[in-house]
Amino acid sequence: MNLSKQVSRPSSLRLSGCCFASAVIVLMNIPAPAAEGPLQLHLRFRNATPRGETTTSEKTVAWEPNKTALIICDMWDDHWCKSAARRVVEMAGPLNEVVKQARGRGVFIIHAPSSVTAFYKDTPQRRRAQAAPFAKTPVALATVERWGTAWCWTDPKHEAVLPIDDSDMGCSCEGTKCPINPPWTRQIATIELAPQDALTDNGQETWNLLRERGITNVILCGVHLNMCVLGRPFAIRQQVYLGMNVALMRDMTDTMYNPERPPGVDHFTGTDLVIAHVERHWCPSFTSTDITGKPAFKFREDRR
């Protein structure tokens, strides 16, 4: 049987299997992703028009799973901000499902829980990252230090100022603001480590792992988009500088944004503004629907 023909059928033809999931997919008009072959990602780009407005465009790309890594940024077991911690708990289960499906397709999974990799000392995933042969990077890795790791700061040559003010660190709790006292000790246990995964928060180790496998495509997800998902040494800015094809899984992220700060929008609109910033200045985005066939993830507190 020619599998490539089979998987390219429109989803409406799949009802013959009488599968409830297929019926849901058709009802919600979400194209079912193929279970094999390349990942079909609907990448959303944002471009500036000559009149200074921005427009979005979409392009479907086929990424070979064995040339693709999915990096999970800072999905810690706890957070100094109670509402941020609550949202990580809520997102972790759905994200783990996405990770499982991506892994099952052959995507290389890198867990990147910054500053708590010692928790994983002597695990096969941590050792794999440390043992990957050194590979020289095409450009120098960031060396500026922030929060104990190398950091790629906002780059005025490459981007506008962030559309949200996170200078207060972005506690989104109503009423009393949370004291900034980092409590994280590991990655949240909901996200499973499989034997073939790797675990690192180090830019050079990440590069070594990618080069060892000939990986050219990098998907970023996790938290928080306005800080670590952009700035960490394994994250979006650094991967773009290194020449990778980078994409943000935009429903599997969150921001540190306090709605009482400019521009004074609700927390989730603030996140959408940062996603738009990333799409305009750094890399396109897609939703987990392209991997799971399920509706994109949405936080319960997002009542827009």
**Distances, alpha carbon 1 to alpha carbons 5, 6, 19, 105, 219, in Å:** 9, 8, 21, 19, 31
Residue 7 vs 178, nearer CB to Zn ion: 178
Question: Whole-number minimum distance, CB 170 to Zn ion, in Å?
Answer: 8
Per-residue binding string, Zn ion, 216-255, x by CB under 5 A, is: ----------------------------------------
Residue 89 in contact with Zn ion, rule: CB under 5 A? no
Residue 58 vs 174, nearer CB to Zn ion: 174
Nearest to 68 by CA among 221, 202, 186: 221
- Residues contacting residue 90 through CB under 8 Å, at least 6 positions apart: 299, 300
Question: Whole-number minimum distance, CB 249 to Zn ion, in Å?
Answer: 24
Binding Zn ion (rule: CB under 5 A), the pick from 32, 43, 107, 171 is 171
Q: Residue 111: what are its φ and ψ, rounded to 5°?
A: -85, 130
Residue 28 vs 180, nearer CB to Zn ion: 180
By DSSP bridging, strand 245-254 and strand 68-73 are: unpaired
- Exposed / middle / buried, residue 52 (Cβ in 10 Å: 0-12, 13-18, 19+): exposed
Question: Whole-number minimum distance, CB 61 to Zn ion, in Å?
Answer: 37
User: 65, 107 in Cβ contact below 8 A?
Assistant: yes
Question: Whole-number minimum distance, CB 173 to Zn ion, in Å?
Answer: 3
Question: Whole-number minimum distance, CB 18 to Zn ion, in Å?
Answer: 47
- Write the Ramachandran bin of 37: left for phi over 0, alpha for psi from -120 to 50, otherwise beta: left
Q: Give dist(CA 265, CA 258) in Å, integer.
A: 9
Of 79-87, 154-162, 203-211, 275-283, which segment contacts Zn ion by CB under 5 A? 79-87
Question: Whole-number minimum distance, CB 258 to Zn ion, in Å?
Answer: 8
Alpha carbons within 13 A on the beta-carbon side of 21? 7
Residue 121 vs 300, nearer CB to Zn ion: 300
Binding Zn ion (rule: CB under 5 A), the pick from 116, 141, 169, 178 is 178
Q: Give dist(CA 61, CA 41) in Å, integer.
A: 5
Nearest to 39 by CA among 117, 123, 98: 98
Question: Whole-number minimum distance, CB 84 to Zn ion, in Å?
Answer: 6
Question: How many other C-beta atoms lie within 10 A of the C-beta of residue 292?
Answer: 19
Of 107-115, 164-172, 201-209, 227-235, which segment contacts Zn ion by CB under 5 A? 164-172
Of 39-47, 171-179, 235-243, 283-291, which segment contacts Zn ion by CB under 5 A? 171-179
Per-residue binding string, Zn ion, 275-294, x by CB under 5 A, is: --------------------
Residue 81 in contact with Zn ion, rule: CB under 5 A? yes
User: How many residues form the binding site for Zn ion (CB under 5 A)?
Assistant: 6
- In sequence order, the β-bridge partners of residue 44 are 58, 285
Binding Zn ion (rule: CB under 5 A), the pick from 3, 15, 28, 173 is 173
Nearest to 92 by CA among 292, 230, 297, 301: 297
Question: Whole-number minimum distance, CB 79 to Zn ion, in Å?
Answer: 8
Of 25-33, 168-176, 181-189, 212-220, which segment contacts Zn ion by CB under 5 A? 168-176
Binding residues vs Zn ion (CB under 5 A): 81-83, 171, 173, 178
